[in-house]
């Protein structure tokens, strides 16, 4: 096959009627084909995707290029920045001869520019704070997150029901721990009378699992004010989509908190975003860098929940793109849903590595133009095997691609640059305000204190005084001999009078006949 024949196939596969983003130019025999553009239609970008490759092969830069192109098309983006190297999207890149050469092959003018970003945080990192209340999670999602069994899940549902019936808001983890303590202690009798028996051992297990979650920093995530996912859909004054960068540098060693947040966010997006169906462009694109952390400690129940949401969220106009080293990091049932593939080079240093490469090669559509097994190990930095879905949802022919270079900075912002951007945020004051209103914790404490409060001191003193006076009078009379004798005589005469009136003769006392 000649290069021109191959170019013709690429051009036909990547000709779209609607809007699109450019990823790079096709390569054949290790050399780029000038202006043989590889383009992804916006229409199918809500079908989810995968960006994979070994460390240092350029996958984060590919993610950056896609985020820039989407923002420029007016599509909002959410980036999970685990390594802390994506804040540079806000600043223009720097010119370089190699970048100029690359962009000349692709046929696109290289203009350095920054893009609108909104730094977000789950912890004490600088940025807009993300929170969610316990009530928003609900008993089902919370039970799956804590890996509760059926009995424990039933208790969790009972606790939420009790709080709803008694107007006890569940906002943070201390609210949840307090109500669990209450239903097995002070309120046990009343709760079991109305809702049934509660196992103290099961409640203890639930509490320990909540404490484990707290140790990963979850108490900073649960609470108010709850983040509204609609704030991810903003655009700037020029119509460019806002790139929300969630800074997760300090979350790497707390995978359970990360998966908890992601599950909550996806569930909230699914429940609040209206149905969109098939449209000309996505409503929101999410990139999850270092995606293996999302699945690292997730239970089977949590994975099932993620699988369900990822399948359904497409109809809301939301696309999810996982960025990781090898496709094996993604569960197979989720991997099968990723029609957009950007596969950077893999390294084969061991026999196990070579087996993985064969499996990765089998995940791509068959190609008459490439030896995929060999190509996966010989791709250079910034080169990748790419297949996307065309406007009809059909995978395009596999192509080795010289990826476009980012127009923004390929590095992080300085602290001063970051502070300046954060200070201009339109939503910072709304979400970073500390709120701790009266909720289940405070209301239950007040109820317990009221029940345990002693009676007023004045009443107790009066009763004690009266009792003391009565007691001293009786003691005085009982010690008087005359009074005792008069009392005995009076009682005897009354008894006789009563028996006489009733015609009863008093019995004589029998003499004992016992020999002993």
User: What pLDDT does 509 receive?
Assistant: 41
Read off the pLDDT of residues 35-63 as tens digits, 9 standing for 90 and up: 899 999 999 999 999 999 998 899 999 99
Q: How far apart are CA 457 and CA 360, in angstroms?
A: 80
Supply the DSSP string of 237-296, one letter for each residue.
Answer: TTSPBPEEEEE-GGGTT-HHHHHHHHHHHHHHHHHHSPP--S-SS-SEEEEEETTHHHHT
User: What is the enclosing helix (H) or strand (E) of 182?
Assistant: helix 173-183
Q: Which fold has domain 3-130+236-425?
A: Rossmann fold (3.40.50)
Q: How far apart are CA 365 and CA 174, in angstroms?
A: 51
Averaged pLDDT, 344-356? 82
Measured CA to CA in angstroms, residue 386 lies from 263, 382, 389 at distances of: 28, 12, 10
Read off the pLDDT of residues 218-253 as tens digits, 9 standing for 90 and up: 788 888 888 899 999 999 999 999 999 998 877 666
Read off the pLDDT of residues 3-22 as tens digits, 9 standing for 90 and up: 888 899 999 999 999 999 99
Read off the pLDDT of residues 428-442 as tens digits, 9 standing for 90 and up: 999 988 888 888 888
Q: How far apart are CA 24 and CA 399, in angstroms?
A: 10
CA-based Rg of the chain, rounded to a whole angstrom?
38
User: What pLDDT does 236 receive?
Assistant: 93
**Comparing C-alpha atoms, which of 372, 461, 467, 442 is closest to residue 174?**
442
pLDDT band at residue 470 using 50, 70 and 90 as cut-offs: very low
pTM for the whole structure: 0.81
**Comparing C-alpha atoms, which of 444, 411, 402 is closest to residue 176?**
444
User: What is the enclosing helix (H) or strand (E) of 462?
Assistant: helix 457-478
pLDDT tops 70 at residue 501: no
Tally helices (H) and strands (E) across the chain.
19, 12
Look-up of token digits 């065309």: 390
Q: How far apart are CA 481 and CA 478, in angstroms?
A: 8
Q: Residue 191 burial (CB < 10 Å; 0-12/13-18/19+)?
A: buried
Q: Is 133 helix (H, G, I), strand (E, B) or coil?
A: coil
Q: How far apart are CA 228 and CA 129, in angstroms?
A: 11
Averaged pLDDT, 51-80? 94
Read off the pLDDT of residues 378-400 as tens digits, 9 standing for 90 and up: 999 999 999 999 999 999 999 99
pLDDT band at residue 445 using 50, 70 and 90 as cut-offs: confident
pLDDT band at residue 197 using 50, 70 and 90 as cut-offs: confident
136 close to 221: Cβ distance less than 8 angstroms: no
Q: Number of C-alpha atoms within 13 angstroms, CB side, residue 106?
A: 23
Q: How far apart are CA 404 and CA 445, in angstroms?
A: 60
Pairing state of beta strands 49-52 and 340-343?
parallel
The first and second tokens of residue 203, run together, are 């409640």
- Percent pLDDT > 90 in the chain is 42
- Torsion (CA) 59, 270, 90, 103 in degrees, nearest 10: 40
Q: How far apart are CA 67 and CA 78, in angstroms?
A: 9
Averaged pLDDT, 15-36? 91
Ordered alpha helix ranges (H), 348-399: 351-362, 372-378
pLDDT band at residue 341 using 50, 70 and 90 as cut-offs: very high
pLDDT band at residue 146 using 50, 70 and 90 as cut-offs: confident
User: What pLDDT does 225 receive?
Assistant: 87
Read off the pLDDT of residues 148-165 as tens digits, 9 standing for 90 and up: 999 999 999 999 999 999
DSSP-assigned letter for residue 354: H
Q: How far apart are CA 307 and CA 266, in angstroms?
A: 11
The first and second tokens of residue 425, run together, are 């945020």
User: What pLDDT does 510 receive?
Assistant: 40
Ordered alpha helix ranges (H), 329-404: 332-335, 351-362, 372-378
What are the phi and psi torsion angles at 450 (to 5°)?
-65, -40
């Amino acid at each position: 096959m000649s290069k021109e024949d191959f170019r013709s196939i690429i051009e036909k596969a990547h000709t779209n009627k609607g809007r699109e983003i450019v990823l790079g130019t096709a390569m054949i025999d290790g050399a780029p084909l000038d202006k043989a553009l590889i383009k992804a239609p916006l229409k199918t970008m809500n079908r989810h995707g995968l960006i994979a490759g070994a460390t240092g092969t350029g996958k984060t830069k590919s993610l950056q290029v896609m985020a820039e192109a989407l923002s420029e098309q007016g599509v909002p983006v959410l980036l999970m920045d685990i390594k802390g190297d994506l804040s540079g999207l806000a600043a223009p890149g720097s010119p370089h001869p190699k970048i100029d050469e690359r962009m000349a092959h692709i046929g696109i003018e290289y203009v350095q520019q920054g893009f609108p970003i909104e730094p977000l945080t789950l912890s004490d990192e600088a940025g807009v704070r993300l929170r969610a209340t316990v009530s928003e999670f609900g008993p089902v999602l919370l039970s799956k997150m804590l890996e509760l069994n059926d009995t424990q899940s039933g208790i969790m549902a009972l606790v939420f029901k009790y709080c709803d019936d008694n107007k006890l808001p569940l906002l943070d983890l201390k609210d949840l721990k307090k109500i669990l303590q209450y239903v097995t202690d002070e309120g046990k009798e009343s709760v079991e009378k109305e809702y049934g028996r509660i196992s103290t051992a099961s409640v203890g297990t639930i509490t320990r699992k909540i404490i484990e979650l707290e140790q990963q920093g979850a108490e900073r995530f649960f609470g108010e004010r709850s983040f509204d996912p609609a704030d991810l859909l903003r655009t700037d004054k020029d119509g460019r989509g806002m790139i929300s960068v969630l800074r997760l540098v300090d979350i790497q060693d707390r995978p359970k908190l990360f998966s908890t947040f992601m599950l909550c966010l996806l569930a909230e997006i699914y429940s609040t975003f209206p149905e969109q169906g098939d449209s000309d462009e996505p409503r929101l694109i999410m990139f999850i860098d270092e995606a293996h952390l999302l699945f690292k400690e997730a239970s089977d129940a949590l994975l099932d929940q993620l699988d369900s949401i990822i399948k359904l969220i497409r109809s809301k106009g939301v696309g999810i793109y996982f960025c990781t080293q090898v496709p094996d990091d993604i569960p197979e049932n989720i991997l099968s849903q990723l029609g957009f593939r950007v596969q950077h080079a893999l390294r084969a240093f061991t026999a196990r590595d070579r087996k993985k490469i064969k499996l990765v090669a089998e995940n791509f559509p068959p190609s008459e133009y490439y030896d995929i097994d060999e190509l996966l190990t010989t791709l250079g930095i910034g080169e990748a095997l790419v297949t996307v879905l065309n406007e009809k949802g059909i995978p395009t022919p596999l192509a080795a691609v010289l990826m476009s270079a980012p127009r923004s900075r390929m590095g992080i912002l300085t602290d001063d640059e970051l502070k300046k951007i954060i200070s201009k945020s339109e939503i910072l004051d709304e979400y970073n305000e500390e709120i701790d209103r009266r909720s289940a914790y405070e209301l239950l404490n007040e109820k317990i204190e009221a029940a345990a409060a002693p009676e007023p001191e004045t009443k107790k003193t009066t009763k004690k005084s009266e009792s003391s006076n009565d007691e001293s009078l009786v003691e005085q009379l009982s010690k008087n001999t005359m009074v005792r004798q008069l009392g005995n005589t009076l009682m005897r005469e009354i008894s006789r009078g009563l028996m006489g009136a009733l015609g009863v003769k008093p019995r004589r006392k029998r003499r004992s006949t016992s020999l002993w």
